[in-house]
Amino acid sequence: MSGTSIYKRTRNSIGHFSRDSRGNIAPIFAIALLPILGFVGAAVDYTRANAARSSMQAAIDSAVLMVSRDAAANPTMSSQQITEAVQRYFSSLYTDKSAFGVTVSATYTPSTSSAAATILASGQGTIKTDFMKVAGFPELSFGTSSTSTWGNSRMRVAMVLDNTGSMASNGKMSALQTAAKDMIDSLSAFSKTTGDVYISIVPFAKDVNVGTAKVNAAWLNWSEWEGEPPIITQNSYPINVKYNNITYTWADIGPGAPCPFDTKNNGSPRPTQNSSIGKFSFACMDRPGSLASATDLSSVSTNRYLIPSDPGGKYYGMICPGIDGGEKFPGKTSVYYNGCYTSVVDTDNSIVVSTGSGASCPSTTPNCSCSGNGKNRKCTQVKYKHYWRTHPTDTDQAKNAAPAHSTWTGCINDRDPDYDISNAAPSTGSDGTPSTKFYTEQWKDCLPATITPMSYAWGDLKTQIGAMSPSGNTNQSIGLAWGWQSLSTTNGPIAAPGKESAYVYQDYIVLLSDGLNTQNRWYTSASSIDARQALLCQKVKDSGVVVFTIQVNIGSKDPLSDVLKNCATDGNFQMITSATQTADAFQNVLTQISQLRIAK
């Protein structure tokens, strides 16, 4: 074969091969494989780094949150302690084994009057790459940070504490006093600057005591304190009493007449009450029943059961109702009436029984006397008009029948519906019905401990707690209502200090009671009182107040108080069955308050 032919054939074969594409896929894939593997490997390495970073973020977030809670609960923590605590919590939480060179640092900035306390924590770490090291990147670094603030929140805490008579048993009152004082100490530790923490104390039973220094306050309503017994006015003075075979009606009662109300069986003869309404539920006193020296007429040594008849006596002719037993008006149980009925001869309605020389008084006619002789003899039955507390013609006697407001002991009753479930400020106008004002009451079991408005005078607050002494029946509603009043910055009676715009405020009520509701202004039925309280509780919570409730139920004497349980915010209800658990219950409340103070 000639050289020319070999050359041509070789050239044609090379040309043909260069135009044939059937064998190109393998080298193209080989060339493209390296960058593809590089991208996939980088994605795997970055995914591992991101997982390590996410794990670090979760750990550092948790660490900062826990430390901020610790710092909020313990305001004395130093900057160094806070930083160390962040590192300690983080080390226990971050367990990613793929990372190395992990470090965390924390910066603590204390709160000021215009800014919150802040923890800024930062973490860094590195992972070894599996694929990117081929491209010259043997390691990947990552980092994250977290911030928590607190201390720009301020708190107002109303401590609403049961002071009813049942608190005297089983060491409940002393345990409450100790736990409440300890809570004040703990809450006061949160206060680094004036105004950080305010506390009010609201002791309650059936009533609350606002203190006699408020006697001239414009928001007081004196209408019931000064009022007559409603059983008399609502039944048109239904007096019908028999004594020594003589029957007396209301117009017959005057000096020397028998007590027209209920009397104790203390000797004979005893007046017999024949009124259509049955028992009045209070006796007759020798002077206004609310006065400390008042004595039941059934127990006096002379003129027993008889209205004072000495013309020179200070209480001549006065018909003075005693303390109410609540027979007809349960809400009046143990309430005094601050006045008496004066007896004024009704000259226009006195009756001439007989005239002439033979005139005489029938043995069954009350208040009958005869005067004159012969044909001028005349026998007259005296009738009386009665005035409650005062009458213009009574002069000095009327004043004696009207104890002054200065004798008030400081007790306050429920407001008129629906102001009893409202935080509305009282008006200073008239005492119309319903009244926005607060009703004074002369209650036998008026508490010695008075309401203390929002204060940071820790010693004074604890002194007031030390003054608490158990007495009377239970009305949780009135305690809750005044606890709510004490949180308001605008109401009249006990307005809290104003709130500064630089701070976030949270209001709390801590309500402790050892029993079910037993008496308020209207009822002694627990279900009736609970119905009003349930409405009040919802309004308090709707206003943004966080409510904690504690039922003290020694020996499970009472059933669970549903109204007390449901009154609590988000399940913040505790039932304790021993006085010794009171301290733990208050500590649990304190822990919750500490956690709620954290801003973010």
| Contact indicator for 294, 332 with CB cutoff of 8 Å | no
pLDDT digits (tens, 9 = 90+) for 99-124: 988 999 998 887 765 566 788 999 99
Residue 255 lies in a domain: yes
Asked, for residue 105, whether it belongs to a domain, the answer is yes
Residue 420 lies in a domain: no
Task: Tell me: do 461 and 565 sit in the same domain.
Answer: yes
Weakest-pLDDT range from 108-112, 400-404, 541-545? 108-112
Which tokens in the block code for residue 219? 């928001």
**Does residue 432 belong to any structural domain of this protein?**
no
Name which residue leads in pLDDT, 197 or 41: 197
Read off the CATH number of the domain in which 548 is found.
3.40.50.410
Band of residue 312 on the pLDDT scale cut at 50, 70, 90: confident
Specify whether 49 is located in the same domain as 102.
yes
Judge if pTM exceeds 0.85: no
Task: Kindly give the pairing relationship between strand 153-162 and strand 504-513.
Answer: parallel
What pLDDT was estimated at residue 339? 96
Q: Considering only residues 487 and 390, tell me which one the structure prediction assigns the higher pLDDT.
A: 487
- pLDDT at site 382: 96
> Is 412 part of a structural domain of the chain?
no
In this predicted structure, what is the pLDDT of residue 115? 66
Distance CA 95, CA 486 (A): 49
Q: What is the mean pLDDT of the chain?
A: 88
Number of domains in the chain: 3
For 181, the token pair is: 């004082």
Give the per-residue pLDDT at 489. 94
413, part of any domain: no
Mean local confidence (pLDDT), 266-277: 86
Single out the residue in 384, 405, 426 at which a domain terminates: 405
Instruction: Supply 127's token pair.
Output: 């992972």
* Token reading at 530: 């609970």
By the 8 A CB rule, do 426 and 230 touch? no
**Looking at the structure, do residues 64 and 194 belong to the same domain, yes or no?**
no
Q: How confident is the model at residue 83 (pLDDT cuts 50, 70, 90)?
A: confident
pLDDT per position as a tens digit, 45-78? 888 888 888 889 988 988 887 887 677 667 678 8
Q: Are residues 465 and 571 in the same domain?
A: yes
Residues 561 and 472 in one domain: yes
Using the 3D structure, point to which of 101, 119, 151 is the last residue of a domain: 151
Dump pLDDT digits (tens) for 323-377: 999 999 999 999 999 999 999 999 999 999 999 999 999 999 999 999 999 999 9
> Residue 227 — very low, low, confident or very high, per pLDDT cuts 50/70/90?
very high
Q: In what order do the strands lie in the sheet with 117-128?
A: 99-109, 117-128, 139-150
Same domain, 342 and 486: no
What lies within 8 Å, CB to CB, of 197 at 6+ separation is: 154, 155, 156, 157, 187, 188, 190, 191, 456
**pLDDT tens for each residue of 114-167:** 566 788 999 999 998 887 777 778 898 999 998 877 656 789 999 999 999 999
Q: Identify whether residues 460 and 531 lie together within a single domain.
A: yes
What is the enclosing helix (H) or strand (E) of 378?
A: strand 378-381
Give yes or no: residues 537 and 491 share one domain.
Answer: yes
Residue 301 has pLDDT above 70, yes or no: yes
- Please determine, for residue 418, whether its predicted confidence score (pLDDT) is greater than 70: yes
The number of residues in the chain equals 600
Tell me which residue range forms the domain holding 131.
Answer: 23-151
- Both 143 and 172 in a single domain? no
Q: Is residue 174 part of a domain?
A: yes
Same-domain pairing of 354 and 494: no
Same domain, 206 and 258: no
Residues 493-530: tens digit of each pLDDT: 999 999 998 788 999 999 999 989 999 999 999 999 99
Q: Is the pLDDT of residue 17 over 50?
A: no
Whether residues 582 and 469 share a domain: the answer is yes
Band (pLDDT 50/70/90 cuts) for residue 466 is very high
Mean pLDDT computed over 299-322: 92
Under 8 Å between Cβ of 510 and 158: yes
Which pLDDT band holds residue 10 (cuts at 50, 70, 90)?
Answer: very low
Proportion of the chain above pLDDT 70, given as a percent: 88
Q: Residue 7 above 50 pLDDT?
A: no
Q: How far apart are CA 240 and CA 252, in angstroms?
A: 10
Give domain status of residue 536, yes or no.
yes
Tell me which of 125, 151, 177 is where a domain ends.
151
